[in-house]
Amino acid sequence: MENASKALLMAGGVLIGIMIVSLAVLLFSNFGGTSSEIHNNIEENQATQFNSQFTSYVGKDNVTIYDVVSMAKLATQNNQNYEFVHRDIKYIIGNDRYIAVILDKTSIELGYISNQTAEERNSKIETHFNKIVTKDLNLVGENGLPKYDVQVYISEVTKRVYKVICNKIE
């Protein structure tokens, strides 16, 4: 009888041990899943926030060259952060991190120029965008500055904007 009660106590201890281990595994898997969900939500929010800098112009009828240049500057900053060379086909084709801004069928964003200092790059960027603005300022009519229609393309892979097309509204 004494052996039977000891056997029952041992069996009960083993069952309680198995239940504790099972509970620990369950909690670990739940917390691990929660942490990956939080990480995914953070990445999704960052992508949405980044995209909103471009998508906020879609569907508006008062987009001017200044707005287009603002988007091109954001794209240029992105391309330089990733050290993408401007209009280098290996970066544009199949790469969802390079952002192209196309104004009337011409790519106006810039990329990274490795043989220049940051000051020289910034000067070149400002000169480039000032020429684009000046060209549009010469087209000012009775309705003011020309207006643009904006289309934004978002990658299925990165969930980030990779192309912005701006066409003049006639």
- Report how far apart, in Å, the C-alpha atoms of 17 and of each of 5, 23, 42, 166 are: 18, 10, 37, 66
Is residue 93 over pLDDT 60?
no
Question: pLDDT, tens digit, for every residue of 66-86?
Answer: 999 999 999 999 988 888 876
Band of residue 94 on the pLDDT scale cut at 50, 70, 90: low
pLDDT at position 105 is: 87
pTM > 0.95: no
Instruction: Give 135's Cβ-side CA count (13 Å radius).
Output: 10
pLDDT at position 157 is: 85
Pairing between β-strand 100-103 and β-strand 161-168 as defined by DSSP bridges: parallel
Question: pLDDT, tens digit, for every residue of 26-62?
Answer: 888 777 667 778 888 898 999 999 999 999 999 998 9
pLDDT at position 113 is: 74
Tell me the percentage of the chain whose pLDDT exceeds 90. 38
What average pLDDT does the segment 133-141 reach? Answer: 85
Residue type for 56, please? S
- Report how far apart, in Å, the C-alpha atoms of 32 and of each of 26, 27, 35, 44, 45 are: 10, 8, 5, 18, 20
